[in-house]
Structure 1
Amino acid sequence: MSTTNPTGARLATRIAQHRWHYLFLAPMTILFVGFTLWPMLASWWYAFFDWDGLGPPTNWVGLANFTEVLTNQAFWNAFKNSFVFSLVAIFVQMPLTLLFAILLNNPRLRGRNLYRLFMFLPVVTTTAVVGIVFAVMLDPSGGFVNEVLARIGLINQPINFLGSDRTALASVLVIDLWKGFGVTLIYWLAALQTIPPDVYEAARVDGASARQVLLHITVPMLVPIAIVILLLTFQSSMNPFDLIQATTKGGPNYGTDVVATYIYRYAFDPQMSAPRYGFACAAGVVFGMFTLLLTLLQAPLLKRRYIKGNA
């Protein structure tokens, strides 16, 4: 009686047939496991220890780190600021980029490819460099922005954009909006390409105005892709670490502190007497769970809107 496993034999044959595919996928898989999957799993484990990063973690504290995170006012301040970045990205950046995408999608606009290039250039510019440049431009002592505002008579004395509690958060929000503008713009431009030109031609033949075309054709047909753009924008906007670190480092008085800089401060800040990697991991896990929860809460509303848009 044969004991051969046909399923296993077929699987082995298919693996042998595609061995070169697996070989080329191996570097990406190794990097993903080593630098993404393993750190995620390890952070969950280290979050249960009072660990300073030296040697293996041995001081088990259970849920104490999580309790401290959830009762720490500074964490909730950082969480609020992170959420503000998402709100600005969703309610300011997305509508603005949609408007510009519609303008730049007009084939009668001369030089539209050049305009697209200029708007996308900030995206490929290193965020740390952008932060340093803006810090110099907004400096109250000889900064370019203050000099221009003083010359045109809008201010009588320099404004400390990045060093004042009243203006620091708004300033970095504007910089972040400018930096990420091109990405969302490209999303919308790609979405607009999916609308058949015949639909617009039929609307013009029927005498529809530009406003009617926008409200009754463009926007409804963009809804399915807009859901994806919304989720991508929400996820990317929750972590402005590099920009904050290059401009304000979370100051002044933690007014621009976000969860990423909060975690960094406890794990890597040289001013800390001893790193608290376990506590930092717990803060990262809590923030990750909240982000996941917020994303999942959007799903029913977005699904309902998607079905309505395709009805």
Structure 2
Amino acid sequence: MITRQIAVALFSMSALVALILLGPLVYYATHHWRRSEMAVLNPVTVAEVTRGMPLPRNPPGPAAGSAPTTLDCPRLPRQLVLDCRWHVSHTGGWCGPPDRRSRMLVGAVAARGGMHAAMDQEGQDAVGAAWDPATGRLLTVVADGLGSLPDSGVVAVNAVQAALYLWAKRTGEEPLHELGDLLFRRVAQGLEASFGAGVAQRGGTTLVAAELVPDEGGATVTVQGVGDSEAWLLAGDEWEPVHHERPAGFDGNDNATRDLPGDPRPRTWTGRVPHGGLLLLATDGFAGRMASGRSNEWMRRPLTPADLAREIIDVKDTYSDDSGVVAVWVD
């Protein structure tokens, strides 16, 4: 009995000594691995991977008749969806027809705001994009879940996924201005089918979508939207709002907006983005960032997704709202 107790004691002492000796080594290895893993995700590394993209801090406007900028970055996947329910996410890539007569660089960011983070709540914005090589069309989508309803985050993500899926599965080559009314109704019906007939009492979302078709002069664009998410065009020195639903005299204090699935009737705008221009979809509130004029210079030339995120997110603002943005530079 005594021998067994001595053996147990010796084993315990050996384990303690091993822990003391090996503990720092294990900590160092683990800590070093985490630092190495973080380095892969560091924005500096992203910039290195996308070397060749023009990233000046205060770039001049594109010179008339200048050659297209070489975009040394990954090809855009056929479809992407980002949400910010518990994190910040960003990605992007280029797309365009095989002859490269006009290419488009897409940057997408979804970021949980300081207010939701401080309250340990889900972010409620989602963004997405899809490229159809068969028809040479790009669809970008932004959704802003209603903050007053608890399930709005997951509703926004599902609305983006549904819009991209329905657009990709359309028959023929119907442009968005012909397909849009049906697409928005189908998205609303899909939300009700997925979450139940009472979903409008638990969650809702805005939805704005833009279809771009590149050509030799830039790209033709159709924008459709429901609610106060926005679409902006930067083709010279000034931003032009091409979709918003702010009423006259809006002072920023009224949060009421149309939303899905409650009101699936989109408003439509059609136009063009010239070479060197930018079309940007964003959740509400982005207009304030443009008022200073800083974004005019900063965003005129293509940004990496990481730099786009830094432009959009104010990490010092603990009361900030969620942000969802998809930017398309036409090169």
TM-score by shorter chain over 0.5: no
Relative to the length of structure 1, the TM-score reads 0.27
**Which of the pair is proportionally richer in strand?**
2
Highest relative contact order (Cα 8 Å, sep 6+), 1 or 2? 1
Relative to the length of structure 2, the TM-score reads 0.26
**Which of the pair is proportionally richer in helix?**
1
Based on CA coordinates, which of the two structures has the bigger radius of gyration?
1
